[in-house]
Amino acid sequence: MESFERYRPIIDDFEAFLAACERPLGNAVRVNTIKASVERTTTALEEDGVAYDQADWNPRVLRLETNSPGSTWTSFHGFTHGQEEVSAVPPVVLDPQPGDRVWDCCAAPGGKATQLAALMDDRGTVVANDSNLGRISALRFNAERLGATSLAVTNDDARNYSLQRFLFDEFDRALVDAPCSCEGTIRKNPDALDNWSPDHINSVAGIQKGILRRALQATREGGTVVYSTCTFAPEENEAVVQHALETEDCRVVDFDLGLEYAPGLAEWDGETFDSSIEQAARIYPHHNDTGGFFVAKLEVTA
């Protein structure tokens, strides 16, 4: 946890933050409304003897009192999908509509991509891309298991992504759930910090900037791009959004979220960020007893 000391000045109740990071994370699932309603799913869980709590901020997110959420009847039949609670936030912020063309730039293993399809009532197109060929099979498996027929799977580097393969030349919305240093997953992955270093953070930040820029370029004017990571590092969060503001035609916009969170930072380590970035959300583990996440919503302006 020593690497987290750098965040002491920016996190409220830092001791509570550290204590939360040391507690194991509970199990959560997302109701897959492509196959079943929330009511049908909760009834099935009750009949299966699986206790649950419904998240206040999202009725489709359930906290299960079981150590094997993937072994339940509802999971076997595709009614539920194991997904960390805070991981369900970015697709909700993106708010895709039926008929939209949506690009999930870094989609494997498919939790958020299939959530996007469900939010669209499986109508429209969700292009689920990932650069890691080894993870594509998991992406395809989850799309099939959950019945997401609106998904198109591609395997490319999102930084140089071409739309020539499609009959359209721009997306309505894009999700950049970027590869990151994964500090916010410490509760479920105790070894998340084993390879932590400033050099790694700076290296992955360069990749993140390239992906976010391409997502903005590929999205129509007036369209929405959501940028998210599961890390606390400002170099990977606010600094990446700042780079996008400086290099692409876009602006940060506000959004409503029924979870407790801290605003985006105004400055870090001598670097000042655009004041609009304070509309982003920093979700810390001690806020809602979840993992950690950063989410920013951008609108393409030209």
245 CB-near residues (< 8 Å, 6+ apart): 251, 252, 274, 276, 277
Q: What is the dihedral of CA 107, 112, 117, 119, to 10 degrees?
A: -150
Tokens of 59: 């009725």
Active-site residue set = 230
* Per-residue buried b or exposed e for 74-85, using 16+ beta carbons within 10 Å of the residue's own CB: bbeebbbbbbbb
What is residue 265's DSSP assignment? P
Q: Do the annotations mark residue 209 as ligand-binding?
A: no
3-state secondary structure of 281: strand
| pLDDT value at 202 more than 90 | yes
In this prediction, residue 1 carries a pLDDT of: 78
User: Model confidence over 123-133: pLDDT tens digits?
Assistant: 999 999 999 99
59 annotated among ligand-binding-site residues: no
250 labelled as ligand-binding? no
CATH pick for 2-21+84-300 out of 3.40.50.720, 3.40.50.150, 3.40.50.10470, 3.10.20.90: 3.40.50.150
Q: What average pLDDT score do residues 56-68 get? A: 95
Q: Is 111 annotated as a binding residue?
A: yes
Residue for token pair 């109508």: 123
Asked whether residue 25 carries a pLDDT value surpassing 90, the answer given is yes
Does residue 140 carry a pLDDT above 90? Answer: yes
Q: Where are the domains of the chain?
A: 2-21+84-300, 26-83
Q: Tell me the per-residue pLDDT of 63-79, one tens digit each, with 9 for 90 and over.
A: 999 989 999 999 999 99
Residues 205-226 pLDDT 10s: 999 999 999 999 999 999 999 9
The reply, when asked if residue 130 is annotated as ligand binding, is: yes
- Domain 26-83 top-level CATH class: alpha beta
Please tell me the predicted confidence (pLDDT) of residue 280: 98
Which of 4, 22, 5, 20 minimizes the C-alpha distance to 286? 20
Tell me: pLDDT of 87 over 90: yes
Confidence of residue 2 (pLDDT cuts 50, 70, 90): confident
